[in-house]
Amino acid sequence: MAKLINGKEISQQIKDELKEKVSALKAQGKNICLAVIQVGNDPASSVYVGNKKKACAYIGIESRAFELPEETTEEELLSIIKDLNEDDGVHGILVQLPVPKHINEEKIINAISPKKDVDGFHPESVGSLCIGRPGFVSCTPAGIIQLLKRSEIDIEGKHCVVIGRSNIVGKPMALLMLRENATVTICHSRTKNLKEICKEADILIVAIGKPKMIDASYVKDGATVIDVGIHRDANNKLCGDVDFASVEPVAGAITPVPGGVGPMTIAMLMNNCVEAAEREE
């Protein structure tokens, strides 16, 4: 039986550590503020934004919400970002993605000051990660590193296979594992012999976007399996990219869905907000 990596518990631990830090900063007269911008009212985005605001309230970070109508122009959004970049009272700026189609997402990401880029999506943040300079790291991969470290899973010298090459998860994940001295292989939809490569992994990180695709036949005995996916199955139950029932008996450690990677993303966003305020010193 695999050890269950409990993201709910670990994220709570991180949020409690941050809460203490924030309260110490407050005692020195420093209030931390995150600006959260949502354009339009996509229901999934509204849930994510609501959860981010809730986490801020728990930790003691002020959240400044911008709920903008669907028709907001790119110029209007860029102008709000410019004001927030210049506002010393704001430490982090987050534009919930996706933005409506008439707004160029890349332009918006590029407009956020790298000093306030708590999502870690700005090219300067990504470049800094790539060459090992300090900067903000995308929250989901940063959360996975915390899950591994806090579950005492060794990374150094291990073969880590990442399935997925998105800018938000796969690529930064691979760079972070490399920074931790893993030997890293990146696989994706065009990879040949995916199963054979996955079978070599000591740590298998799955961000493929296909419900329950990875079963026990992809997993080496005793491997650590991290599941980034979140879907609803035929019975409307939440599931990941990994077929948990199949993999759990062969894995050494595994994240559940829900309660694995998901809760870590917001915890790391909160961590980045606190870092943004601390770096200002």
**Stretch binding ligand GUN (CB under 6 A), from 92-100, 173-181, 187-195, 204-212:** 92-100
Closer by beta carbon to ligand GUN, 22 or else 142: 142
Residue found by looking up tokens 């959240």 in the block: 63
- What is the DSSP code (8-state) at residue 224? E
How far, in Å, are 184, 260, 275 from residue 131 at the CA level?
Answer: 16, 29, 20
164 is in an annotated binding site: yes
Residue found by looking up tokens 């300079």 in the block: 133
207 in contact with ligand GUN (CB under 6 A): no
- The verdict on whether 119 is a catalytic residue reads yes
CB of 119 to ligand GUN, least distance (A): 5
- The verdict on whether 52 is a catalytic residue reads yes
Closer by beta carbon to ligand GUN, 60 or else 143: 143
Of residues 139 through 168, those in contact with ligand GUN by CB under 6 A are 139
Give the span between the Cα atoms of 261 and 78, in whole angstroms: 32
230 in contact with ligand GUN (CB under 6 A): no
CB of 28 to ligand GUN, least distance (A): 29
From the list 38, 115, 117, 119, the catalytic residue is: 119
14 in contact with ligand GUN (CB under 6 A): no
209 is in an annotated binding site: no
Give the span between the Cα atoms of 114 and 35, in whole angstroms: 14
CB of 23 to ligand GUN, least distance (A): 26
Of residues 102 through 141, those in contact with ligand GUN by CB under 6 A are 119, 139
Q: Are 243 and 79 spatial neighbours (Cβ–Cβ below 8 Å)?
A: no
97 in contact with ligand GUN (CB under 6 A): yes
CB of 201 to ligand GUN, least distance (A): 25
Residue found by looking up tokens 């993303």 in the block: 265
Farthest-apart Cα atoms in the chain, separation? 57
Residue nearest ligand GUN, Cβ-based: 97
Count CA atoms within 13 Å of residue 82 on its CB side.
Answer: 7
Among 5, 10, 18, 95, binds ligand GUN (CB under 6 A): 95
Give the span between the Cα atoms of 264 and 146, in whole angstroms: 8
CB of 223 to ligand GUN, least distance (A): 27
94 in contact with ligand GUN (CB under 6 A): yes
Label the pairing between strands 183-187 and 159-163: parallel
165 is in an annotated binding site: yes
Give the span between the Cα atoms of 134 and 128, in whole angstroms: 6
Give the span between the Cα atoms of 163 and 27, in whole angstroms: 44
Contacts for 208 with CB less than 8 Å, ≥ 6 apart: 163, 164, 189, 214, 229, 241
Residues contributing to the annotated binding site for NADP(+): 164-166, 230
Active site residues: 52, 96, 119
| Residues at the site binding ligand GUN, with contacts judged by CB under 6 A | 94-97, 119, 139, 265
